[in-house]
């Protein structure tokens, strides 16, 4: 009888402990159980560390040209071999991690800020404001993203900074439409109507209630968009419209090596693997975050 009397208390204790678990801790536990997402996080962290300590681990400068060492295969002296100018490919890939991650992070950051702002305004105020912003998004989405990026870079001029701006611009509609759809559902909630009824200003409603409740899908989309931005930066670099020589951008390295695919395949293999692994890492991590933050996936 004593044991039976203790059971309800134990059950109640377990329920209370579960309710007291912080949301961030619950999210981390769910993320930790997803092995693929954890592997993606490991890949991303690895490349971030590589980018930070690039000057320490790179055996050579990324722009040093030694014509006597042209097209050397991988060896103990040059781990990834050398390119057509005798530059060490390992050093260039290590420094290139800084450029690719920099373009990925900051282009997506610009897209998130601009897209979220436009999406909130369109979804909350509606009517002609929503119509104008939505039509702008539709026009931008009517063009293939890479063609729109090429058009922006053609106007601004080929450079790494302009490629970053172009990538940020073409991703704005994706975040804007995502936030708009979320705001349209959130603003119909009773607590939003109550806030309006008591005379709360629109700015306060947007910042304190609507934005926090609309940000989860944006985080997931941003993680996946970084991978896309890295590919787009590599594509612009491959076309000669992104980073310019001697900047060690991975897409530019592929473009410079395409004529030597049979003579020196390592000049294409290692930059390609670096792009593939980085994109894979962000995609796996984004899928894991989506499983945690998307209520539909939880169900």
Digitized pLDDT (tens) for each residue of the chain, 299 residues in all: 444 444 444 544 444 444 555 655 666 677 677 788 889 889 999 999 999 999 999 888 888 888 888 888 998 888 998 888 889 999 999 999 998 899 889 999 999 999 999 998 888 887 888 899 999 999 988 888 888 899 899 888 888 889 999 999 999 999 999 888 888 888 777 777 777 777 777 777 777 778 877 787 888 888 888 888 988 888 888 888 887 878 888 888 888 888 888 888 888 899 999 999 999 999 888 888 877 766 555 54
Count of other CB atoms within 10 angstroms of residue 197: 8
Measured distance CA(75)–CA(82) in Å, rounded: 10
Contact between 88 and 82 (Cβ < 8 Å): yes
Contact between 124 and 204 (Cβ < 8 Å): no
* CA atoms 43, 46, 51, 57: torsion sign: negative
């Amino acid at each position: 009888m004593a044991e039976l009397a203790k059971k309800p208390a134990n059950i109640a204790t377990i329920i209370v402990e579960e309710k007291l678990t912080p949301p961030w801790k619950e999210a981390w536990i769910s993320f930790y159980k997803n092995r693929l997402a954890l592997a993606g996080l490991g890949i991303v962290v690895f490349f971030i560390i590589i980018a930070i300590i690039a000057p320490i681990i790179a055996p050579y400068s990324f722009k040093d040209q030694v014509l006597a060492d042209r097209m050397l295969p991988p060896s103990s002296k040059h781990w990834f071999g050398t390119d057509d100018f005798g530059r060490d490919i390992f050093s260039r890939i290590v420094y290139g991690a800084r450029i690719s991650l920099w373009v990925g992070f900051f282009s997506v950051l610009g897209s998130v800020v601009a897209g979220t702002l436009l999406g909130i305004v369109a979804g909350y105020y509606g009517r002609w404001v929503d119509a104008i912003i939505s039509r702008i998004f539709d026009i931008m989405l009517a063009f293939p993203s890479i063609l729109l990026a090429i058009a922006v870079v053609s106007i601004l001029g080929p450079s790494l900074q302009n490629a970053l701006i172009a990538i940020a611009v073409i991703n704005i509609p994706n975040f804007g439409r995502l936030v708009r759809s979320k705001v349209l559902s959130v603003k119909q909630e009773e607590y939003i109507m109550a806030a309006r009824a008591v005379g709360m200003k629109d700015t306060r409603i947007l910042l304190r209630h609507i934005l926090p409740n609309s940000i989860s899908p944006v985080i997931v989309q941003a993680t996946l968009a970084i991978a896309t931005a890295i590919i787009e930066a590599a594509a612009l670099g491959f076309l000669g419209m992104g980073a310019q020589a001697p900047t060690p951008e991975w897409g530019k390295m592929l473009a410079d090596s395409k004529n030597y695919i049979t003579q020196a395949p390592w000049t294409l293999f290692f930059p390609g693997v670096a792009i593939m692994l980085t994109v894979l890492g962000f995609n796996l991590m984004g899928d894991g975050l989506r499983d945690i933050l998307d209520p539909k996936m939880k169900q």
